[in-house]
Structure 1
C-alpha cells in the first residue's frame, strides 16, 4: 500500500473496470477526495496472456504522464489484476501508489499451496492431498492410483482463476482423459500457466467467507461471516450474511485463525479467508488479497464502508473508519444474475436489448438494490458473465430471501442473451434453502429446476416471432418450414395470443423482433420479447415470457445433409476433425470459447462431417450452423 497521507494535493486514481462494482469503488473514492477515472477491461489486458503485462504497463505509464504534478493511484477493484503481485511491483516501477496489500502478501495469496502450507505450519487444518502440484492429467492419474483415491475429488488451480480454477471429478476414467484435459486447457488460458493440486471432497459441508481488515500496527477488524455455499459451476450465485448456524466453538476458532493468518502473512489492507465447515470441523481452502466482489453485502451488515477501511489501512486516515452500531441491514442476501442457461450449465452471452429501470426498493424493515453491469445495447462478453447483482435485506434471513424473491419477479432483462432469474427464484423457494438446510454441492448435485413452461406458455413463446409481418410473410411463402421451441416441435398460431400491450415490431441488426405484454386464459399477465438472432428465411429468436427463456427456431431443410448447430455464442476455438472424417459418438469435434469457457460439441451418435460451415477463430451465434453431417444408422450409444 501507499504510505502517503491526506496532506497530498490533487489525487488522481484509476479504477479498473467499468461495471457496477468498479463504479461503486469510484464513487467512494470520489467522496474521499480523489479525482476518479475508469479503465475499461479491453485496455487492461488479460493476466493470463503474454500480452497482458505489457498492456497494463503501457496503460499505467500513460496514466502517470497525463498530469505529471498530480499524485497518481490505482485501485484494481475486483479485476483479476487485483490478485496478481505484478500490479504492486509495476506501481513501484512507474511511481504509482497501488491501493492493494503489500506485494509479498499478494504473492503469498496468489499461490494457494504456499498460503495453505503456511496455515498448516500454524496448525490450521486444510484439505490438500498433495502439496506437490501436478502439470498434466497423467501425473494426476498416477497419483490417484498410488494413493488409491476414489471419487469425488476436488481439483484446484494453484494460481487464482475464479470459477475456472475448481473442478470436481465425480467418476470415470473418461473424465480424466477428455473433460479434465479440456478443463486444464481452459485453466492454462485463464491463468497463463497450469499447476493444479487435489483436495479431499467433503459431503454436506458449508463454505464460509470471512472478510477482514488489518493495519500495519496489527489492528484487526473481522467483518460479518458470509455463507457462500450456494454455487453453480463454482459461481457464488447466492450469498447470505451473517452466516447462520455456525457453532460458537467453531466461530471462536475461525476468528483466532483469521487473526493468526493475517499476522503471519504481514497482511495490510482488506482481504478474506475461505473455509469449509463440516459439523465442528473447519478447513481453510483459500484466501483473497482484495475486496470480494460481493463486499457491498457484508459492509451493509457491518454498518461500515469497505473502501474507507482500505484507505485507512493505507494511512490516508489516522483513525479507524466509523461504523454504524445499529445498521439498517440486519440480515441480507446477494444474488448474482448470470448470462447462462442454468439448466444446461452453458454460458449464454449476447446483446442486452431491454432493461427494467427500477434499481432501489424500500419496504417496512427491508430494502433491496440492483447493481447492473450492462446497459441496453451493450454485449455481455469476455469482461464477465455477471449481468447484475441483487442485494436484499430483512429483519431475518427468511424475510431477506422473501424480499429478494419478490424483486426478482420485477427484474426484466431481454435480448439475445439468457439470464438465470427464474433459476434463482426457484432456488430461493426451495424448502431446504428457506430453512437453511443446504451445502456447497447442493445446487449442482441435488437442486432440480423447472425445465420448460406449461403448454399454454410454450405455445405463446413459439408463436411470438410469427407476429412480426416479415416473419409471417416468409412463413406463408415458399420458405415454409418446421418450428421448434426448445426441444419441442410446435405449430405457431399467433392469432391465439391475447395482447394487452402491443405487439410492437422492432429491428435488431436488420432482423425482425416483437415485444409487448400478453394475457393467458387463466388471467396471468406476462411481459414478452422475441429478440432475433439469425436471419430469415430460417431464423432463430431468444424469447422471454415472464421469467421463462426459450430458443424458438424456424428450420428449413436447405441442404442435402443435416446440420449441427452451435450450443453457445462465442468464438470457434478449435476444429478437431477434417471434412470427410467419421467422428465416434460422444467425441468432441469442435470447441467454442464462450465467456472464457471451452464448450465441446459432440453427438450421441457416430457422424460423418461433409462440410464445415464455420472456421477457426470465427464468431458464431447460438443456433448457427457449424457443419453439414450425416449420422450412422446405428442406435445412439
Structure 2
C-alpha cells in the first residue's frame, strides 16, 4: 500500500506553489490552507482543494496546529508538507502529525527540536567535532549573565534568538553600552516571532562569507550532501542573493565543509532535506552557524546545478524510498544564481511595503526560472514575510548566469508598491560582485552609496514620460489624438508632477508629427509616442525606440524605467497646499502593522531621532522615531492596536 496519496501544504505563497507543482507532477492530490488575507491567493487557486483556517494573523491561521490538522482530517490528506517558515521547524507540529497518523514530510521531531535551538544545537555540534564560533550558549538568560559573557567574548558580537531564523531576533552589538537595549529588543522580537525569548551570544566575525551545504538523508541510513551555496549577499541578516557553487571554494575546502555537514547530520540521525550553514573567514577557516531542518528558500540553485528536484526527493524519502543517488554519483554542472524579490523600500531602511500589486509581468527566458505566488491585483498585507518570489538563472559559467539574471531582474514588471528590484539589479551589476569578491558586509560596507539605498528624485527623462502619459490620457478622453482638443494649441501646458512631498514643473507642447516637446528644468526633451496599449508605451527619443511598462489610474502613475519602478502623481489641478517637511512633528505609520510598544506619553519631552513607538509588521519590529525636538502633545495608539499606512499615531510640537 502507498504510504500517502494526498498532501496538505501547511504554508502559503511561493513555496506552497512550488510544492504543488512537484506534487501534481508526481500524481499526488493536494490541499491548500489559507487565512482571511489569502482567500484569492495563487496557491489556493492551484491546489485541488483548499480549506480556510482562520484570520490573517499567523497565530490564528498558519501557526494554528489544530486548524491545520482539522483541515487534513476534513479533506482526507494523509501527508503534510510544511514548506519553510511557519511550522516547518516546529517539533510539536511534527509530533502532532505523527499522533494523527499523518506523514510529516520532514525530519524527526527529535532532530527538529535539537537543531531548532541554536543553543542546544551548538552544544551538540561541539560534541560532534564540528567547528563552532566562540560564544555563550548557556541556560542562564538574565541580563547580568549575558553582560558578563559578552565581556568575556568581546565586541563586536552577535545576539541571536536561539529559536530564530531569517534575521529576526538578531542584533549586532558594537559596544558594551548598547548591549542591554539590544538584548531587550532581540528578546521581544524573538518572543513574538518564535514564542521563545531564549538568546545566545557569538563573536562577530569580520566580513565572513555565508556558505551552506545541502544535506539529504533517508530512512535506510544513507546521508549525502549535494554541494554548497554561497548566501553572503544579505540585508538585515537576511539573504537576498544566493548562488551555487561558492565562487571561492577549492575542492579541498568543499570536501571538508561537506564532511563537517555530514558530521552534523549524523549527530541527529537526519532524514530528509536539511541545510548546515557555515561562516567562512578570509583564511579559509569555517564555523558552524546553524542547521535548518527543512527545505531552504534558495534550494532552486542546487536544483539547477544538479538537475534534481529536491521536493520530489522529499516526497520519496517520506514515502520510505531510499535516496536515488550515492555520494559519488552526485554531479554539479554550470552555475546558478538566485535573487529574492521583496516588497520593501531599500531607500527607507528596507522598510517592508504593503499595497496592491497593480502590474505583475515577469520576464522569462531560456535558463531563467521564477518561483512566486503573486497574482496581479492581490493585496500584499502586513501579516507575512515581504518576500514575493525568486528569480533564478543557470549558465555554463558564473558570468553567464549573472548576466541572464541581471536581464531578468531589470525586465521584471512589478508595479503598485515599492520593491528591492532596483537594488538587486545594482548588486548584480556591481564589479565586485561580478568578480566574486564580497562578504556578508558587502551592502553595508561597500554598497552604502548605491542610488537604490537613498531617496532619488526622478530623472528629467522620467518626468517627461510622465507628462506625456498624463497629456495623452487627456487627449484620448477628448478623442482627438495628441493635437486638436485645446482652444490654444500653440500654448505650452505646465504640469506639476510630484513624488512624495516634492513637485516639479514640466512644460509640454505638442507638434503635428506625434512628437511632444517637453521642458524639464533646463532640459528640452522630444518624445514621439509610437504605440500605447494601456500597459506598455513605445516611444522614440533621439532616434532610439524604447518600451516602458506603466499603470495609470486617475492622477497616479507607476512607471518602469532605468530607475526601476517610479511612483508619480499629477498635481496639476490639485490645490497648492503647504507641504510638511522632514522636520514634521506628525508621526504617521510607514505601513500597515501592529503597535508593539508606546515609549512616550503626552507631555514627554523628546529629541529628533528618539524612538517613540515600535511597530511590528511582516515579522519584524520597526522603531518609529521623532522628526523634531519638542513635546508630545497627542498619542493616538496603544500597544496591540492595528494601524494602517499613513495613519497618524502621535504628534510632537
Pick the TM interval, shorter chain: 0.7 to 0.9
Paired residue for 2:209? 206
Conservation of the 8 A alpha-carbon contact between 2:159 and 2:186: no
Aligned residue number for residue 429 of structure 1: 429
Superposition pairs of residues 198-347 of structure 1, within 5 angstroms: 198-278=201-281, 279-317=283-321, 320=324, 330-343=334-347, 344-347=349-352
Equivalent residue of 1:491, what SS?
strand
> 1:356 aligns to what?
361
Q: Deviations over 1:406-454 (max 9, x none)?
A: 1112111001x11111111111111111111111111222213214266
1:462/1:492 contact within 8 Å kept: no
Aligned to 1:89: 95
**Residue 83 of structure 1, CA deviation:** 0.8
Specify the alignment match of 1:398 in structure 2.
Answer: 399
Aligned partners of 1:255 and 1:328: how far apart in 2?
A: 14
Q: 1:597 is matched with which residue?
A: 620
**1:169-220 CA distances to partner (integer Å, 9 max, x unpaired)?**
24473x4455553343222211112111111111231111101111233212
Q: Distance in 1 between matches of 2:322 and 2:123?
A: 35
Shift of 1:99: 1.0
Q: What residue number does 2:546 align with?
A: 525
Distance 2:532 2:388 in 1: 27
Counterpart position of 2:564: 548
Paired residues of 1:309 and 1:321 also in contact (CA < 8 A): no
Moved more, 312-321 or 395-404: 312-321
1:161 aligns with 2:165: yes
Deviation string 1:287-325 (CA, Å, 9 cap, x unpaired) is 011111221220221121212322332344356269998
When structure 1 is superposed on structure 2, of 490-499 and 434-443 the one drifting more is 490-499
Within-5 A mapping of 1:436-447:
436-447=436-447
Could you tell me how far apart the structure 1 residues matched to 2:336 and 2:568 are? 37
Counterpart in the other structure of 1:37: 31
Contact 2:4/2:319, CA 8 A, preserved across alignment:
no
Q: Which shows bigger deviation, 230-239 or 582-591?
A: 582-591
SS in 2 for 1:86: helix
| Aligned-partner Cα distance in 2 for 1:440–1:46 | 37
- Out of 484-493 and 16-25, give the one that drifted further: 484-493
Secondary structure of the structure 2 residue equivalent to 1:108:
helix
SS in 1 for 2:78: strand
Deviation at 1:372, TM superposition (A): 2.3
Q: Secondary structure at the match of 2:312?
A: helix
Q: Report the RMSD for the aligned CA atoms in angstroms.
A: 3.8
Contact 1:458 1:485 in 2 (8 A): no
Q: Kindly provide the CA deviation profile for residues 493-538 of structure 1, in whole angstroms up to 9, marking residues without a partner as x.
A: 5663847378888xxxxxxxx9856666695735254677xxx9xx
Aligned match of 1:110: 116
Q: CA deviation at 1:247?
A: 3.2
Residue 182 (structure 1) aligned with residue 191 (structure 2): no
TM norm structure 1: 0.82
1:48–1:193 contact (8 Å) kept in structure 2: no
Judge conservation of contact 1:304–1:321 (CA < 8 Å) in 2: no
Superposition deviation, residue 602 in structure 1: 1.3
Tell me which residue corresponds to 2:46. none
SS at 1:437 equivalent: coil
Whether 2:409 is the aligned partner of 1:408: answer yes
Question: Comparing 562-571 with 395-404, which one deviates more in the overlay?
Answer: 562-571
Structure 1 segment 187-198 matched on structure 2, within 5 A: 187-198=190-201
**1:386 CA displacement:** 1.1
Unaligned stretches of 5+ residues in structure 1:
1-6, 473-479, 506-513, 631-637
> Counterpart of 1:387?
388
1:490 aligned to 2:504?
yes
Distance, in Å, in 2 between the alignment partners of 1:378 and 1:28 is 24
Q: d(CA) in 1 for partners of 2:610 and 2:135? A: 31
Q: Which residue of 1 aligns with 2:529?
A: 500
Equivalent position of 1:55 in the other structure: 64
> What is the aligned length?
590
CA contact (8 A) 2:4 2:79 kept: no
Superposed displacement of residue 87, structure 1: 1.5
For the residues of structure 1 that align with 2:137 and 2:113, how far apart are their CA atoms? 17
> Equivalents in 1 of 2:545, 2:501: separation in Å?
25
Q: CA deviation at 1:259?
A: 1.9
For residues 387 and 316 of structure 1, the distance between their equivalents in structure 2, rounded to whole angstroms, comes to: 33
Secondary structure of the 2:439 match is coil
Matched, 1:373 2:377: no
Structure 2 unmatched ranges of 5 or more: 37-51, 478-493, 510-517, 519-524
Equivalent residues of 1:25, 1:307 under 8 A apart: yes
CA contact (8 A) 1:207 1:276 kept: yes
SS of structure 1 residue aligned to 2:248: coil
Between stretches 289-298 and 548-557, larger displacement belongs to 548-557
**Is 1:620 aligned with 2:644?**
yes
Distance (Å, rounded) in 2 between the aligned partners of 1:141 and 1:483 = 53
CA distance in 2, matches of 1:118, 1:388: 34
Q: Is this contact kept in 2: 1:462–1:485, CA < 8 A?
A: no
> Is 2:578 the counterpart of 1:557?
yes
- The match for 2:609 is 586
Q: CA offset at residue 455 of structure 1?
A: 3.7
Shift of 1:368: 0.6
Correspondent of 1:144 among 144, 150, 170: 150
User: What SS does structure 2 have at the residue aligned with 1:307?
Assistant: helix
**Of 448-457 and 254-263, the range deviating more from structure 2:** 448-457
Query: Given that residues 89 and 112 in structure 2 are in contact (C-alpha distance below 8 angstroms), is that contact kept between their aligned partners in structure 1?
Result: yes
User: Who is 2:590 aligned against?
Assistant: 568
What is the CA distance between 1:103 and its match in structure 2?
Answer: 1.0
**Whole-angstrom distance in 2 between the partners of 1:556 and 1:137:** 51
CA spacing shift, 1:140–1:213, aligned 2, 3 Å: same
Contact 2:212 2:275 in 1 (8 A): yes
